Structure 1
Amino acid sequence: MVFKKMLGAFGVGAPAVDTVLPNPNTRPGLALPGQVNLTGGGHDVEIERISVSLVTRIEVDGADEEYDAFVEFHRADVSAGLHLREGQELSLPFQIGMPWETPVTDLSGQRLHGMTMGLRTEVSIRGTLDKGDLDLVHVYPLPVQERILEAFGALGFRFKGADLERGHIYGLHQSLPFYQEIEFFAAPQYAHGINEVELSFVTDPHGVQVVLEFDKRAGLFTGGQDSYGRYRIEHGEADRTDWAGVVDGWLREALEQHHAYRGSLGGHSSAAGYPPPGYGHGYDSHAPAYGHGYGGHGHHEEHHDRGPGMGGVLAGAAGGAALGFAAGMVADDIFDGDEEEAETDEE
């Protein structure tokens, strides 16, 4: 995709910029290549810096209400100290590494409803910064992420939506100031105890932490409280197991844990004793096949200060409808012209 924009912040006769992404499809942990094409304007200029950055939209819990904000979460320099002559044409290649925690925006060739991501080019001349237009970026899941998402579809879960929440997941190391939640309506075989499931991935070069939040039905479980499960999967395990069976095991484990706890209360649904001792801190049960699960509250900790081959990413895998996602996935307009509200992540 290409954007072309005169650098209006610098007045009449300013340079023009085209940013080109030969392939806007990528995955976490990969490098996204591109080039910035400059055309000199009506006079010579000294360009102090050219950089590109990844920008996305997140949900923020405000004092009175939730609202959307735009954040820049990763940046790479393209050039610095550049003399651009009148009418001169230059092409500057770049690569920006996608952080391992980059959220997934696309699956099976379709945009996840609620997800937006773009690459922004910034040019600084004489201390004045021009924030260029945004180029849409498509982030496809890593193989292990894709297998788990496919497993939810195979089990009959229906995609509800996806968003980015500002803050950190309790007990996990994160390099980005937000985390992704992918939401599903429960499949019929679990609907007696689960309303919805929210899935989060926290990924690093070696593997991924899978965090599940189960929205329980009131009446069956104590007050209908949510509970959580966390499982560690290595990247190399992507093609070595029956993921539908593993995910089914995670879900049934969550149901069994709450059945067992409700039984320990003598069948009473009083929230006074919830969660049971050990939940949320140090409670571990061996999950079927992989990882460790935990239950209870304390899932999210808010902070208000601030690999694998491409495979089918280039063309996009087919069969979204078969995975149960098609009804909830639509193309999202890129930022709706609000990119100037973006915040810079101060790590």
Structure 2
Amino acid sequence: MVLRILKEIAGAGVSVNTVLAQPGITPGGTLAGEVRFTGGDVDLEVQRIELDLAAGVLRAQRESERLVPTGFFQAQVCGPFRLAAGGSHAIPFTVTIPWETPLTAMGGRPITGMELGVATELALSRAFDKTDHDALTVEPLPVQAEALRAIEAAGFQLQGGKLVDGTYPGSHMPFYQEIEFWSTGEFTAHFKKLSVTFFTGAETTEVVFQADNLGTLLTPGVDVSQRFTVRNNVPSDFTELVRQQLWELVKRRTPGNLSKIHNPLPGRSATSDLHSPSIRAFRRMFRRKKNGVAHLSQFALFLYSEGENTTPHP
């Protein structure tokens, strides 16, 4: 009797595996796949199966920056059911991911510093949950890809990317992405590094260029940036448009203009209650109560252990 109870609590023998229909996706696209799972040694009650998207976000802690695992999208695959001992099952799923999902690759090239994954959680009643973790590749939409190609054509070289803690006005994400480039062409005399941020919706995309990381998009002070909006059906003169916007950024950086520029984007901080870099603090942050059952995202701890102190360096 005692052994049976222990097996129930541990969920002994239960396994879960998520198979994605395709390894890559674009923002706003459909993520499809199948959750495959097998019952254990005893019958168990499953409360639900959920998919969680999470990413490593740079967050300032005292005088340093650390990657903090941050969930930004959740979808339920199915509700309660009874999982018979030893039974094998497969449940297909299709979910639409957010338009502002960060990019992890450009034309098959990984963007250094970007970590994004799917965690599948099999929530068991009165037992430890079972999870499966899968990396997810997110490629640019056509409008984003054209902008990035035009930037490289202007003499910029991809350095990497990062997710910055904070919510941009009008966005629903707890962070925003900066894709960073080194200047190697005609713009080298004007700035060394260019950061590119996309705020994408179903019809339009706002593109933000920021030079040499003077300030941030969400903090007070000098923020030398250039913003423009394009429709998602890519204009034919996109390359010329990008060059024009880069030259506008150069003009804004001239000494006579710097004193006139102020941060026009007062955002609301998404800073967490997490103040300690310890594993114990991360466990507290990612523990959540649902119907009396405690859940802990092991994927979050995986991101932390893999990504601590991974700020891109030249």
| TM-score normalised to structure 1 length | 0.71
Equivalences for residues 1-347 of structure 1 within 5 A = 10-11=9-10, 13-130=12-129, 132-169=131-168, 172-215=169-212, 227-236=224-233, 238=234, 240-259=235-254, 262=256, 274-276=258-260, 279-280=261-262, 297-298=263-264, 301-304=267-270, 338-339=302-303
Aligned-residue sequence identity (percent) comes to 28
Supply the AA of the counterpart residue of 1:175.
H
* More contact order relative to length (CA 8 Å, sep ≥ 6): 1
Task: Classify the secondary structure of the residue corresponding to 1:50.
Answer: strand
Residues 265-322 of structure 1: per-residue CA shift (max 9 Å, x gap): xxxxxxxxx522xx44xxxxxxxxxxxxxxxx3557351356xxxxxxxxxxxxxxxx
Calculate the aligned-residue CA RMSD, in Å: 2.6
Q: In structure 2, what is the Cα distance between the partners aligned to 1:207 and 1:182?
A: 19
Q: In structure 1, what is the Cα distance between the partners aligned to 2:195 and 2:65?
A: 18
Q: In structure 2, what is the Cα distance between the partners aligned to 1:93 and 1:199?
A: 36
CA 1:88 to 1:340, structure 2 compared with 1: closer, same or farther past 3 Å? farther
Supply the AA of the counterpart residue of 1:304.
A
Please list every run of at least 4 consecutive aligned residues from structure 1 whose deviation after the TM superposition is greater than 6 angstroms: none
Q: Shift in Å at residue 13 of structure 1?
A: 3.1
Structure 2, unaligned runs of 5 or more: 1-6, 215-221, 273-298, 307-314
Supply the AA of the counterpart residue of 1:166.
D
Q: Is the 8 A contact 2:175 2:270 kept in 1?
A: no
Q: In structure 2, what is the Cα distance between the partners aligned to 1:66 and 1:32?
A: 31
Task: Classify the secondary structure of the residue corresponding to 2:18.
Answer: strand
CA 1:156 to 1:131, structure 2 compared with 1: closer, same or farther past 3 Å? farther
Residues 184-221 of structure 1: per-residue CA shift (max 9 Å, x gap): 1113211111121100001111111101111299xxxx
Residues 248-268 of structure 1: per-residue CA shift (max 9 Å, x gap): 111111223444x62x8xxxx
Q: Is the 8 A contact 2:10 2:127 kept in 1?
A: no
- How many residues of Structure 1 are paired with residues of Structure 2 in the alignment? 267
Supply the AA of the counterpart residue of 1:301.
G
Structure 1, unaligned runs of 5 or more: 1-7, 218-224, 265-273, 281-296, 307-334, 343-347
CA 1:89 to 1:133, structure 2 compared with 1: closer, same or farther past 3 Å? closer
Q: In structure 2, what is the Cα distance between the partners aligned to 1:62 and 1:9?
A: 40
Q: In structure 1, what is the Cα distance between the partners aligned to 2:213 and 2:21?
A: 45
Aligned to 1:222: none
Supply the AA of the counterpart residue of 1:89.
S
Q: In structure 2, what is the Cα distance between the partners aligned to 1:12 and 1:232?
A: 51
Q: Shift in Å at residue 242 of structure 1?
A: 2.6
Task: Classify the secondary structure of the residue corresponding to 2:192.
Answer: strand
